[in-house]
Amino acid sequence: MTDGPTTDPAALDRADPAGEIARAAGAYRNWGRWGEDDRLGTANLITDADRAAAAGLVRRGRAFSLSQRFDGDGPQNGWRRRTNPVHTMLDTGLDAEFGDQGFPHGLGGADDVVAMPLQASTQWDGLGHIFDRGKAWNGRPAGTVVTSEGDQVTGIEHMAAVLTGRGVLLDVGGHLGDGGELPDGFAITAEQLDATIAAQGATAQVRRGDLVLVRTGRLTRARREGWQAYAGGPSAGLSFTTAGWLHEHDVAAVATDTWGFEVRPNEFDVAFQPLHQIAIPNMGLTIGELWDLDELAADCAADGVWEFLLVAAPIPFTGAVGAPVNPIALK
């Protein structure tokens, strides 16, 4: 055990997750940093000047969607009550062809509806998604923030315009993995993030206010072998000990190609997503999961440029604690 949080996974007291979480929370907490009424957390770090500069990164006009599909063949398996989207047609071409719609002068149309958990596929975790010992982001009582009516304070709608800026892809799977893929249970450390940056070069340097994407290769394997335990099962991911790295680099938001962002199984004897417990309610860090980074990674490796304009606005469902997103990287 250490007096403060460690950056070495081997030094974690795996039998004392509560103690390690308390030490990290105390060291990396951003409560009050942007005022008592703040709703955005680390997204405040992205300035208008940052967005203008990020727009200047677009040279070729090449656009990459970083979203998985939203359909019934998606990654969810019902665990934690998350299911894949159910898409139902309300009006179809047959209705129009047979004149069943009642429109004049031959007009016909199609309409549809989707029912799904808001975190069924590529998504952002909002600031009301995770609590730490009864406290939500900025030290607010969790019960007054998220009620049966939804997130009354930090609903995802407040993020509708702000998650646009300089994106940086760190392809840790490409740098350290076998065939571009890290094995399940691989805990990515701060040292390995820095090593990946060094290997990728100057355009991979992480700056204040960046949107950082970390590729593990887990989605690549799921595409090849089938979903299996992609949702909720073992996976490479960020180590609990990277909380300090994310805090020290003033990262505005972070996303991965995995279901749960952090390494699974988690790094304690009994734990569930402890890095979430530091990042969201204490740091105010928005987390993205289930992103598709493969095509972008291949392009970055080909041209040696790992930075881009990233436009990643969540659908602004009022009061939601997470939301789907179709992130677009522009190079």
- Report DSSP letters for 297-312, one per residue: HHHHHHHT--EEEEE-
Is the confidence at residue 2, as pLDDT, over 80?
A: no
pLDDT of residue 179: 96
pLDDT digits (tens, 9 = 90+) for 236-245: 999 999 999 9
The CA dihedral of 146, 162, 40, 153, to the nearest 10 degrees, is -30
pLDDT of residue 124: 98
Q: Are 197 and 321 in contact (CB under 8 A)?
A: no
Q: Tell me the percentage of the chain whose pLDDT exceeds 90.
A: 98
pLDDT of residue 199: 98
Mean pLDDT across 112-121: 97
CA distance 328 to 331: 10
- Per DSSP bridges, beta strands 307-311 and 328-330 are antiparallel
pLDDT of residue 4: 81
> Whose structure tokens read 């967005």?
51
pLDDT of residue 286: 98
Mean pLDDT across 116-140: 98
Is the confidence at residue 79, as pLDDT, over 90?
A: no
pLDDT of residue 233: 97
CA distance 46 to 312: 13
pLDDT digits (tens, 9 = 90+) for 285-307: 999 999 999 999 999 999 999 99
Is the confidence at residue 1, as pLDDT, over 70?
A: no
CATH of 9-78+117-330, one of 1.10.10.410, 3.60.20.10, 3.30.465.10, 3.50.30.50: 3.50.30.50
Kindly report the average pLDDT of the chain as a whole number.
97
| Residue 48 buriedness (CB in 10 A; 0-12 / 13-18 / 19+) | exposed
Mean pLDDT across 126-141: 98
Q: Domain residues of the chain, as ranges?
A: 9-78+117-330, 88-115
